[in-house]
Amino acid sequence: MTRFAALVGLAREARLLRRASGLDETALYIAVGGADPARTCLAVKEVLSSRPDAVISFGLAGGLAAELPAGALVCPRRIVAPGGAVHQVDKALWKDFADRLSPLTALDCALAGSDTAVATTQAKQALREATSACIVDMESHILAESAMASSVPLLVVRAVCDPAAQAIPQPILRLMDARGRLRWRGLPSALVHWRAMAALARHSRQAERSLGKAAKALGSLVRDRASAL
């Protein structure tokens, strides 16, 4: 069977991908980066050590383009790394996936990589102006660099969780650990921003519904490629 390997930011994204795709570990290997550059680098090594036929960066993203609402599903063609390097996704893989999930909200766009959370509207606007990217995440650029060096085809599938106009206060950013579990000690300071918490929870549900549809399409892609061998 054609074997994919996926990199996600959070454990709950891994669970969603496994459940919705219907793929077992022999078809889809999943590693969790934990929204931390050092841990993500280790996860990327783990992903590539499984010697996959293709790799995918899958999960939530921040919106940079004002027209993208929460839940918008994006399959970017390009990844712009923090230093300015540009990596391309695999054209054939991109088309195969996009055809199964058309219409996507945004197709021909770029994703900006960041080593830190881009949480304010000002930071999002600045990154948009600097890169022309429509979304941002903390994992795809790290995976892209290693995938290109190893000549492994790359696909990126992301759903907007926090749109461009939505800021995420720092206490909320610190509220969840790498597994997506609540850090109870941080709850009192986060509750001050309860309106932002409620909006983020609502938008997260919208994004995860979109990711569920994407995972089903990915499962179909992997199974069809396996049967063609």
The predicted-structure confidence for 19-39, as pLDDT tens digits, reads as follows: 999 999 989 999 998 878 888
Measuring CA to CA, how many Å separate 97 from each of 37, 41, 100, 128, 224?
27, 26, 5, 26, 11
**What pLDDT sits at residue 199?**
74
**What pLDDT sits at residue 54?**
95
How many structural domains compose the chain?
1
Strand partners, 110: 78
**What pLDDT sits at residue 1?**
45
pLDDT tops 60 at residue 208: yes
**What pLDDT sits at residue 212?**
95
What does the pLDDT average to over 5-17? 93
For 107, half-sphere exposure in the C-beta direction (CA atoms, 13 angstrom radius) is 12
**What pLDDT sits at residue 204?**
87
pLDDT in tens, 80-133: 999 999 999 999 999 999 888 876 666 678 999 999 989 899 999 999 999 999
Residue 57 identity:
S
Predicted TM-score of the model (pTM) = 0.88
User: Count of H helices and E strands in the chain?
Assistant: 8, 9
pLDDT tops 60 at residue 78: yes
Q: String of b and e for 153-170 (b: at least 16 CB within 10 Å)?
A: bbbbbbbbbbbbebbbbe
pLDDT in tens, 120-176: 999 999 999 999 999 999 999 999 999 999 999 999 999 999 999 988 766 556 656
- Identify which has the larger pLDDT, 76 or 183: 76
∠ CA 98-102-107 to the nearest 5 degrees?
Answer: 60
**What pLDDT sits at residue 190?**
57
Residue 69: phi and psi, rounded to 5, are -85, 170
Comparing 51-55, 169-173, 222-226, the range with the smallest average pLDDT is 169-173
CA dihedral 109, 113, 119, 121 (to 10 degrees): -40
Whole-number Å distance between alpha carbons of 227 and 225? 6
Do 89 and 107 touch, CB atoms closer than 8 A? no
pLDDT tops 80 at residue 220: yes
**What pLDDT sits at residue 88?**
95
> Over the Cα atoms of the chain, what is R_g?
17
Tokens of 125: 């606007």
| CA neighbor of 30 nearest in space, from 66, 1, 58 | 58
For residue 78, the enclosing domain spans: 4-227
Task: Provide the CATH number for the domain around residue 57.
Answer: 3.40.50.1580
Measuring CA to CA, how many Å separate 118 from each of 7, 61, 80, 89, 122?
20, 10, 15, 23, 9
